[in-house]
Amino acid sequence: MNDAIGVDDILEHIERLRHGETLTTERASAVLDAYRSGRLADYQLTAWLATLAGRGLRFAEIVDLTRAYLGPARGEGAVPRDGRTVVDKHSTGGVGDKTTLIVVPLVAALGVRVCKLSGRGLGIAGGTIDKLESVPGLKLEFTASELATRLAADDIVIGSFSGALVPGDTATYDLRSVSGCVRSAPLIAASIVSKKVAVNADAVVFDVRYGAGALLADRESARRLAGLLVRLGGAFGLRCRAVLSDGSVPLGTAVGNAAEIDEAIGFLRGTGDRRLRAECEALAVEMVRVSEPDEPEQRIRERLRSAIDSGAALSMLVRMLEAQGGDTGPVLGGGGYCRPKARTSVRAQGTGWITDISSLDIGRAALKLGAGKVSADDVIDPHAGIRLTRHLGEHVAEGDVIAEVFHDGRDSGDAVALVSRAFSIGRQEDCRVPGEPEPVSEGDVHPQETGMVHV
Ligand code: URA
């Protein structure tokens, strides 16, 4: 029953959901269609999303919501099944998470075919599409058949989610981001998996990040979400694996859109920091594994290293950017994409070891600078961001520069204060030790079989 839904119906539907009525694809599609055709206001759709987030959804309802997010096309017409494995990858997001920009060209350089549909920033976590929009001219919106054409030509494409590919996810995404509905596991799962089904890839690797700067508070919630993602992907015929990663400390040294692209390019030139390298390697290994199940892990790691050492991974990134119409001058000329109008140094407030760097404070600072959206109609500044010049576990003296804030020259005081607050300085033995990335597969996760799924 995809009957038209109006204002009175949505209120009654929300009331019924609260009393336990089952959400079906038909009902969810009716709500989403009503919103997209202007019959429901933002606040009514937000109330619906908040109801789903608060009440939780049963697994069958999450499958139905994912179908509704996909809309009538249901992923048909995207990547054709031609017997050659196509892999996608998706992160739940975190502060400084630029892994897609690294692992997609890296595994493509090993011959893995990658078709990736990405999202934008959610809350304090940046999004791949916001980052890639820092590359002038880069085309990111594709129809399903354009995605297929790009993949056939180059075996690598990154595109944006859009109303044409995942109408329901696109309609709800920004509203979730600005209304406190981003941490609901069922909504995250439907949002991510709908994008993967829209691509019609064979296999997906999910990067599920946890900690104060990520959507999931702790490792156990991340493990439960990984289980849900793997099970939901499986319900749509996808072979899925997941990696759990610690997002409590920013990943790498750059936070902000263009700044993260530049860091990813530096990584592909061989200059990545240890944690970023460990996380990218863990994800890349899983992406190669789902494509080449018989290849031993040690051999995969050797091939990944030689793709960086030989420059093949960087060439693959340049090829993708060029093929999608992007200006590659800043990569080839070495100048980079991040050109902020102004930079402010942040100095250590004491002498000692850097015992912690709070993702939450760094993420909030990046939002204040305009690197992400606080309200749905905010405009992102691609050059806004932060570069951490000193790292967790390093010794600093009072007054040393520990970070640089990139801004537009106006009113960056609050952001600078947040960056300063993000650094804890103390005794060496109190330094935080972030968890190592942990690969999990279907056998390792314990998806909830019945009952409501919450955060
Ligand atoms: N990425 C998405 O695409 N959706 C979410 O809800 C979270 C991360």
Domain of 168: which CATH number?
3.40.1030.10
Same domain, 276 and 219: yes
Please indicate, yes or no, if residue 70 is contained in any of the structural domains: no
**What are the pLDDT digits (tens) for 98-109?**
999 999 999 999
Q: How far apart are CA 427 and CA 351, in angstroms?
A: 10
Residue 335 binned pLDDT confidence (cut-offs 50, 70, 90): confident
Residue 177 lies in a domain: yes
Q: What is the pLDDT of residues 248-293, one digit of tens each?
A: 999 999 999 999 999 999 999 999 889 999 999 999 999 999 999 9
Examine residue 68 and state whether it is found in any structural domain, yes or no.
no
Q: What confidence score (pLDDT) does residue 113 get?
A: 96
42: domain range?
Answer: 7-55
On the question of pLDDT at 75 being above 70, the answer is no
Is 369 domain-assigned?
A: yes
In this predicted structure, what is the pLDDT of residue 4? 72
The predicted structure's pLDDT at residue 448 = 55
Three state DSSP letters for 84-106: CCEEEEEECCCCCCCHHHHHHHH
Kindly state whether residue 453 falls inside one of the protein's structural domains. no
Among 143-147, 280-284, 447-451, the range scoring the smallest mean pLDDT is 447-451
pLDDT per residue as tens digits for the range 364-409: 999 999 999 888 788 899 999 999 999 999 999 999 999 999 999 9
Ligand 1 pocket, mutate which of 191, 209, 216 (most atoms under 8 A from CB): 191
Residues 251 and 208 occupy one common structural domain: yes
> What is the model's pLDDT at position 3?
62
**Does residue 406 fall inside a structural domain?**
yes
Q: Do residue 296 and residue 408 come from a single domain?
A: no
Residues in contact with ligand 1 by the CB-under-6-Å rule are: 92-93, 119, 122, 188, 191-192, 195
The minimum-distance atom of ligand 1 relative to the CA of 118 is 3
- Looking at the predicted structure, is the pLDDT value of residue 316 above 80? yes
Same domain? 239 vs 386: no
34, 149: one domain: no
Residue 174 — very low, low, confident or very high, per pLDDT cuts 50/70/90? confident
**Count of other CB atoms within 10 angstroms of residue 294:** 5
Q: Which tokens hold the place of 262?
A: 């530049």
Same domain, 318 and 424: no
Q: Are residues 354 and 325 in the same domain?
A: no
DSSP SS3 for 59? helix
* Residue 81 maps to a domain: no
Q: Would you place residue 1 in the very low, low, confident or very high pLDDT band (cuts 50, 70, 90)?
A: very low
Asked if residue 176 is part of any domain, the answer here is yes
| Predicted local distance difference test score (pLDDT) of residue 450 | 54
Q: Is 258 helix (H, G, I), strand (E, B) or coil?
A: helix
Smallest CA separation from ligand 1 atom 6, residue: 188
- Count of domains in the chain? 3
